[in-house]
Amino acid sequence: MAKDYTKLSDKCLMLECSQDNLRAFNQLFDRYFEPLYKFSLNYVKNMEAAEELTMDMMHNIWRKRNTIEIQGEVKHYLFGAMKNVLFNYIKKKQMATVTIDELPEMTQLSSETVSQEIAFKELEKLYHQKLEQLSPQRQKIFRLSREEQMTYPQIAENMNLSINTIKTQMLMSLKFLRENMREHVDMTLVLFLYLFF
């Protein structure tokens, strides 16, 4: 009897992919291309660029299928990988708009930029540590909203909860994160703008 790949979990599909199973990858592709594309479109605001970036990221998953090690949910890994692709794309696009006259100034700012990137990575690490301190339900709601771009009604339906419950849980999560990252006020604002808007 032929295997029904549509019923396999994400982890099972990734395991099949690591064994060079193209049908498993095609199922994973069909399952995640559309949500990853919509996620990308929120950042690049260009349909062709979003589609190309999403295609490239998914094909990169296939190319690295034998070496990828995923800790946690495959969905979170894919959206994290997509966010990294988008970050690099936006950074390259910004650099491409720099004129020759601006290059000396950019060189002077390079060390400052490196310091900012290090601080950003440290703060993002802290953010994830604090996120892990939320209850499992609040974590799931928060990730569905901020990482997978789901609306409150969609999350409510997904988790079989009321929309008001979702709103309340999100408010409590945001309050917790802000209060526990208060000593990093300036960079926290930058991080929240990057992650949430």
Kindly report, residue by residue over 16-65, the tens digit of the pLDDT: 999 999 899 989 999 999 999 988 888 888 888 888 899 989 988 999 99
Question: Which one, of 138, 135, 126, lies nearest residue 178 by Cα?
Answer: 126
pLDDT of residue 167: 85
pTM over 0.75: no
Rounded to whole angstroms, the Cα distance separating 40 from 59 reads 16
Q: Which contiguous run of DSSP H or E holds residue 64?
A: none
| pLDDT tier for residue 2 given thresholds of 50, 70 and 90 | low
pLDDT of residue 86: 87
Higher-confidence position of 19 and 145: 19
> Are residues 173 and 134 in contact, defined by beta-carbon separation less than 8 angstroms?
yes
Average pLDDT over every residue of 92-104: 52
